[in-house]
């Protein structure tokens, strides 16, 4: 799965370093108050001052870039703190009322630098994709890669999908595999929905046994399965980091996928169709013996009620509802 460009910060850092441009990684390690970015957010800076990613809403990036360029020169890591009581933060523009602490690390050589081999192993795990965490201890600048099951604190952060600083002083940056979105029905709404989902960090898969619908020409570069929905769902094996959306409102295609999704721990299931269509759907599912509690997991008509009309607007409403359910 190709991650969105804004989510390829470690990959960009490794590439710039290997190209001889130099790379320094800036990572939000702690936040207080109304900080603009959460812990784990990253920015990479090259030796020429090029940057990708962000550690704030544009408030402190200029100051962080300056520190990153200095880190590339002196090969030393540093912890930066910006807050409303800090004149430097005011000069940088952090006026949101929060406080952030940012770790800046040069990549490559140096006792305090992030070793190339460590960064390469992290990038390899992200490409697999395989869950991996990087634990950094500023006292002594030691670093350790942790897989699930190797460290209780890291395991808790894998489960919550939240990077952060532990009581023992370690900052644990979690790199979970991307969230997944399974879409059943290669209809017009699916085109913007897959694009929006990828931008939001999801790995989308499209299911449609109808060759005329699920074609490469209509969905260039997308992962398309032409198996019957229940077979495709069984192969994909939805987990607790998976959202499922059915868009055909054809019982022959949607119902098998819905049954499979309800039998899985998928965190979201949304189904396209009018209220009348959904009422008939509920009758069919009840007749199949699906418990009322499972049926209640379905979000239908799919998406938040924002008055959406066009396929793109409906896709926005669906992605907004998925986000609402995930974050709630």
pLDDT at 99: 84
Written as tens digits, the pLDDT of the chain (328 aa) is 566 667 899 999 999 999 999 999 999 999 887 667 789 999 999 999 999 999 987 778 899 999 999 999 999 999 999 875 555 544 554 555 578 999 999 999 999 999 999 999 999 999 999 999 999 999 999 999 999 999 999 999 999 999 999 999 999 999 999 999 999 999 999 999 999 999 999 999 999 999 899 999 999 999 999 999 999 999 999 999 999 999 998 999 999 999 999 999 999 999 999 999 999 999 999 999 999 999 999 999 999 999 999 999 999 999 999 999 998 8
Structural domains of the chain, ranges and CATH numbers in brackets: 5-175 (no CATH), 179-327 (3.40.50.720)
pTM for the full model?
0.81
pLDDT at 260: 96
pLDDT at 5: 65
Residues in the chain: 328
Supply angle C-alpha 248, 250, 253, rounded to 5: 80
């Amino acid at each position: 799965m190709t991650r969105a460009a804004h989510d390829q910060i470690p990959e960009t850092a490794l590439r710039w370093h290997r190209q001889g441009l130099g790379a320094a990684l800036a990572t939000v390690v702690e936040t207080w108050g109304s900080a603009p970015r959460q812990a784990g957010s990253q920015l990479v800076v090259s030796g020429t001052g090029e940057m990708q990613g962000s550690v704030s809403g544009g408030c402190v990036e200029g100051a962080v870039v300056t520190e990153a360029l200095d880190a590339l020169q002196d090969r030393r890591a540093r912890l930066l703190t910006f807050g409303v009581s800090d004149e430097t933060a005011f000069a940088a523009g952090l006026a949101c009322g929060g406080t952030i602490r940012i770790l800046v690390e040069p990549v490559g050589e140096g006792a305090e630098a992030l070793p190339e081999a460590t960064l390469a192993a992290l990038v390899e795990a992200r490409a697999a994709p395989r869950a991996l965490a990087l634990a950094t201890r500023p006292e002594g600048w030691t670093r350790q890669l942790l897989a699930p099951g190797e460290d209780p604190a890291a395991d808790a952060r894998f489960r919550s999908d939240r990077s952060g600083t532990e009581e023992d002083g370690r900052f644990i940056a979690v790199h979970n595999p991307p969230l997944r979105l399974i879409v059943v029905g290669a209809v017009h709404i699916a085109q913007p929905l897959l694009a929006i989902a990828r931008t939001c960090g999801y790995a989308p898969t499209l299911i449609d046994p109808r060759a005329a619908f699920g074609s490469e020409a209509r969905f260039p570069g997308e992962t398309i399965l032409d198996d019957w929905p229940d077979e495709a769902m069984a192969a994909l094996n939805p987990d607790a980091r998976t959202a499922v959306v059915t868009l055909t409102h054809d019982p022959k295609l949607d119902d098998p996928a819905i049954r499979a999704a309800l039998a899985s721990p998928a965190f979201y299931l949304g189904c396209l169709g009018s209220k009348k269509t959904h009422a008939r759907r509920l009758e069919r599912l009840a007749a199949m013996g699906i418990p009322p509690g499972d049926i209640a997991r379905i979000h239908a008509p799919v998406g938040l009620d924002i008055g959406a009309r066009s396929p793109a607007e409906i896709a926005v409403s669906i992605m907004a509802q998925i986000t609402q359910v995930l974050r709630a």
